[in-house]
Amino acid sequence: MINLVYNEMVKITGKRRLVVVTLIIAILISLFTYAQFQQAAENRKRFGDVDWRTALEQRIAGWESRLANGSGRGDEGELEMRIAQQRYYLDRNINPSEPGAPTFVRGFVENGITLLLPLMMMIVAADLVSSEHSSGTIKVLLTRSVRRWRILLSKYLALMLSVSIIITLFGVLSTVISGLVFGFQGWDAPVLTGFTVTGGELDTSGVRSLPQWQFILMELGLAWFVSLVVATITFMLSVLVRTTAAVMGIMLACLIAGTILREMVESWETAKYLFMVNLELIDYLQDADPPIAGMSLGFSLLVLLVWGIGALIVSFVSFTRRDVY
Amino acid sequence: MKGNWIQGLMAASALSGLIWLGGLGWTLQDYFAGAPDTAGTSIPAAAEETPALAVDDGKFRVVALGDSITRGAGDPDGKGYVGYMVEALKTKAKDQEILVKNYGINGMRTPDLAASLTEPAVRSELKAADVIVVSVGGNDLFRGGETLGNLNPDNIASIQEAYLVDLDGVLKDLRGVNPSAKLFLIGLYNPFIAMKDTKTTTKIVRDWNYQAAETAAVYPDTVLVPTLDLFQLQVQDYLARDQFHPNAEGYRLIGERVASLITWKEESE
Amino acid sequence: MTGLAKMADQEEITLSVQGLRKVIGKREIIKGLDFELKRGEVFGFLGPNGAGKTTTIRMLVGLIKPTAGTIRICGYDLHRQFPEATGSMGCIVENPELYTYLSGWGNLQYFARMMPGINEDRMDEVVRLVGLSTRIHDKVKTYSLGMRQRLGIAQALLGRPKLLILDEPTNGLDPSGIREMREFIRYLAEHEGLTVLVSSHLLSEIQLMCDRVAIISKGSVIRVDTVDNLLSQQEKVSWRLTPLAKGELLLRELAGSAEVKGDKVLTPYNELEIGRWNQALVESGVTVTEMSRRLPSLEDLFLELTGGESID
């Protein structure tokens, strides 16, 4: 089996897929780093005269007074953590609006999880099987003395490996590129998490702070999961549809429909069972409303898992049964 | 040579796969196991907040109910108009001890407020209150921005109708709990006065306030405090960065206006 | 030399097909094929396009699942013992499609990794065998069709198969390439003891390279026989001789058979012998006034058997 997986990796690297993905990611990260750098410069120009340290101190003082006079009903825990969070910046002399690489990475993963990363997975997964059809090599592949399910499994394992390495590249590249511009400070800055939504209201009772590096690790873990599911669904399409372009088209339509659906149809409740509406896993860790009521991290993970397993079953059944012409 | 390279890549990929799986596991563990842990600590904290109240201890009690305006959203210091009102009251009567309970919740609408009034802790506070300030209706009208996209009179009328019914219910309830406290209902201002459709939006807010005042007029010691005028001329100076909530200065204006309506005579008697 | 002789020597069966059927939708594409291939023979699979050649070949190599029937390769059931069955088979289906972004050597490495017990020596061996040594490290996309074909054969031979299945192996090759391929296939059968199944719609090709032929039309095999047998009925030389009776007697002796038709004598055609026969006739005082080769071939036979169905 390891030989088969090795073969698939030879093909993926032979087609320079990983190089393409790496380049796209690197270029985008450079772009966003530059954009953020510009924004920071702009902000400094506009609010330049305000010393961020005094602004921060005022903010903390405000929160402390709220804590002291008891006007923060039920939010005491959150307030304390926000104060601790801002204190961290103050103590380490980091301007919170011009943070270092870790904060950039955190934001970038958050934004990349719904579209950018799935698209990258699509590039690798889309032609994994369909290209064998269009180039005719499926005939050489399936007349080997290897059962079909083993061939497909090797392809899937190679895909899993590629997904993993792309997430790693994503993390490493964004750290290095943004770090060169913003510096590498702030790995243990506290990040607030643990928000839950109960009865339509944000429940802050479970809020706690995590060091930023742990939060990034958790984010990338979620991004990995999302990417894997998207890759699996693309993989299924690649088995079912014979041309790579069609696979890409369908997948692109799904992903873009997902971003639109998330924005628009909070009234269409059954949409929450679609995989593309459930990609924004990281938002559940932060204080954001779910796009549709009744969605939670557990729910979204479950929906994605079911889709992934379903896609895998369809792929294997179709691939092992189908006649090749 | 190339073979070794790919083997290395595979090993690195497998390793990263394990790391990210670990990250996912950590997230799940943190999200599902972490939450009840801290929730457990917050329950006793909530319990401390509802002590039995001694009503006649000579302290002046203010209970603030309502939305983000009561909460103080947009004020960097987080005081809100309630904070500035109390400050103003303290300068008026230096010896008087003033207790404030702020139940403001961002995004609260009138039905939410009605529901929150059923909480025993809130009721006991209300019962003991000398002054009750309420800011509610902004979210009913604004609907997170939805209303801005549909300013047609029928839509507004139906929203307003529902609000007035709810408001009446709230006022009735409040008056039932505490018939003697002074009740101040904070009127709406128009944060969009500097934007297009200003004539329409201002008219809507003006009418809204008028109808609310009509509703409030049925109940004794119930005053609608206008704020529309405060923001009418220099709205930009009084709005926070979100262009919706008041900033510190805006809150100060509202707070001082409410404070000016509170008289001490009856209290000191 | 002839297929018949070889069949007598070795009766080992490398491919056996029994009751093979394929139904797609309601249409029966293949209507029950039975045939067997013996070790060391080159077996031609001949039929017009649409006769079911390609479908049959694809069922033989495991790309299409038969609706009914069994395929055994070296005794292994293709369906139940897929790895063992395909392990003793090498094939090229239609054009040799390979990974063009890899080198020829990279392709062979790729295939070697999918079979047990293939080392670099074996890879070198097949590369030498197909004569690709000089270009094997170039990317396949730079190869000509002939080179790709050779690389295709190299990959098919890599696993030391007992059965080689080639679907239209000379498609797209130039005349010299076709001859080369033909010689190579004969070489494999005669010197390496491979059984080769060749499908083609080119009769001349089959005629020159195969020992036995199956003629397939509309999903059924209409005839399986040795090329010699099939042709012996068809390919004749007609002689105009005086005196006729003496000449006929002499020819019957020389050529094995002879029949009188009108004022001519018909004998089987034998390219090597025919000069000698002529000489013998002349020497014994028979005048040969006309000697013409009738050029019937599988084409004629085919047309006869299929009732005029065009081959292309």
Q: How confident is the model at residue A229 (pLDDT cuts 50, 70, 90)?
A: very high
Rg (CA), chain C: 23
Residue B232 domain-assigned (yes or no): yes
pLDDT value of position C96: 75
Chain B residues near residue A5 by CB distance under 8 angstroms: 10
Structure tokens at C45: 């699979």
Q: What mean pLDDT comes out for the span A276-282? A: 82
The separation between the first and the last C-alpha atoms of chain C, rounded to the nearest angstrom, is 31
Best CA proximity match to A231, nearest among A316, A127, A132, A320: A127
Query: Taking 70 as the threshold, does the pLDDT of residue A201 lie above it?
Result: no
Q: Which residues on A lie below 8 Å from B78 (Cβ)?
A: 62-63, 65-66, 71-72
Q: Give the pLDDT confidence of B177-211 residue by residue, as tens digits.
A: 888 888 999 999 988 887 778 888 888 898 899 98
Number of domains in chain B: 1
- The verdict on residue B68 lying in a domain is yes
DSSP C169: T
Question: Which residues on C lie below 8 Å from A142 (Cβ)?
Answer: 62-63
Let me know: does A41 contact A140? Beta carbons within 8 Å. Answer: no
pLDDT given at position A313: 94
CA distances from C67 to C20, C26, C34, C79, C157 (A): 8, 12, 14, 11, 29
B83 found inside a domain? yes
Neighboring chain B residues of A14 at a CB cutoff of 8 Å = none
Please classify residue A85 by burial: count the beta carbons closer than 10 Å to its beta carbon, then call 0-12 exposed, 13-18 middle and 19+ buried: middle
CB contact under 8 A, B20 and A164: yes
Q: Read off the pLDDT band of A164 (50, 70, 90).
A: very high
CATH number for the domain harbouring residue B242: 3.40.50.1110
| Residues on chain A touching B125 (C-beta within 8 angstroms) | none
The shortest C-alpha distance from A324 to chain B (Å) reads: 30
Q: Which residues are within 8 A (CB) of C174 and not within 5 positions of it... i.e. 6 or more apart? A: C146
Note the pLDDT of residue A180: 87
How is residue C161 annotated by DSSP?
A: -
Residue from A17, A73, A195 whose CB has the most chain B CBs within 10 Å, to mutate: A73
Do the domain assignments include residue B199? Answer: yes
One-letter amino acid of A67: L
Q: Where are the alpha helices (DSSP H) in A206-296?
A: 212-240, 244-264
Query: CB-CB: which of C91, C99, C106 is closest to A143?
Result: C91
Domain residue limits at B240: 32-43+54-268
**pLDDT, tens only, C41-57:** 888 888 777 778 888 88
The answer to whether A13 contacts B6, with C-beta atoms less than 8 Å apart, is: yes
Chain A closest CA to B52's CA: distance in Å? 17
What is the residue type of A32?
F
B16 within a domain of the structure (yes/no): no
* Contact between A297 and B31 using a beta-carbon 8 Å cutoff: yes
Q: Which range scores top for mean pLDDT: A22-36, B29-43, B133-147? A: A22-36
Task: Determine, for residues A324 and C95 on separate chains, whether the beta-carbon distance falls below 8 Å.
Answer: no
Residue B10 inside a domain? The answer is no
pLDDT of B40 = 35
Q: By the CB < 8 Å criterion, does B103 face chain A?
A: yes
Å between C115 CA and nearest CA of chain A = 7
Contact state of B24 with A225 under an 8 Å Cβ cutoff: yes
Count contacts between A and B (CB, < 8 Å): 136
3-state secondary structure of B223: strand
Give the angle subtended at the CA of B256 by the CAs of B252 and B260, to the nearest 5°.
Answer: 175
Say if B49 falls within a structural domain. no
Give buried/exposed letters for C50-87 (b at 16+ CB in 10 A, else e): ebbbbbbbbbbbbbbebeebebbbbebebeebbeebbb
Q: Which residue of A has its CA nearest to B62?
A: A71
Q: How close B249 comes to chain A (CA, Å)?
A: 15
- Whether B8 has its CB under 8 Å from any CB of chain A: the answer is no
Interface of C with A in 69-128 (CB under 8 A): 82-87, 89, 91, 93-102, 106, 110-111, 113-115
Of A137, A142, A143, the CB nearest to C99: A137
Helix (H), strand (E) counts: chain A: 12, 4
Shortest CA gap A325–chain B (Å)? 32
User: Any CB–CB contact under 8 A between B6 and chain A?
Assistant: yes
Reported as a single tens digit per residue, the pLDDT across B219-232 is: 888 999 999 888 88
Q: Does residue B241 lie within any of the structural domains? A: yes
- At residue C5, does pLDDT exceed 60? no
Residue C157's φ and ψ, nearest 5 degrees, are -85, -15
Instruction: Say which residue the tokens 């005719």 belong to.
Output: A136
The beta-carbon neighbor of C102 closest among A6, A14, A146 is A14
What pLDDT was estimated at residue A152? 92
- Taking residue C162's Cβ as centre, other Cβ atoms within 10 Å add up to 20
B30 vs A210: CB contact, 8 Å cut-off?
Answer: yes
- Could you tell me the two tokens for A128? 């994994």
Q: What is the pLDDT of residues C98-130, one digit of tens each?
A: 888 888 888 888 888 888 878 888 888 888 888
Question: Using a CB-CB distance cutoff of 8 angstroms, which residues of chain A are in contact with residue C78?
Answer: none
What pLDDT score was predicted for residue B45?
34
User: C212 with C35: CB under 8 angstroms?
Assistant: no
| CB contact (8 A) between residue A136 and residue C97 | yes
Q: Any bridge partners for residue C17, and if so which? A: C35, C71
Residue C250 has a pLDDT of: 81
Query: How far is B9 from A96, CA to CA, in rounded Å?
Result: 37
Q: What is the mean pLDDT of the segment spanning A87-113?
A: 77
Burial C113-144 (b: 16+ CB within 10 A, else e): bbbeebeeebbeebbebbebeebbeebbeebe
Contact C289, C239 (CB under 8 A): no
Subunits with 3+ Cβ pairs within 8 Å of C are A
CA distances from C77 to A64, C43, C115 (A): 81, 20, 19
Q: Which of these ranges, B27-31, B60-64, B142-146, has the smallest mean pLDDT? A: B142-146
Kindly determine whether residue B16 and residue A168, on different chains, have CB atoms separated by under 8 Å. yes
Least confident of A192-201, A250-259, C171-180: A192-201
Residue of C nearest to A141 (CA): C111
**Residue A136 Cα, gap to closest chain C Cα (Å):** 6
Q: What pLDDT does C6 receive?
A: 45
Residue of A nearest to C99 (CA): A137
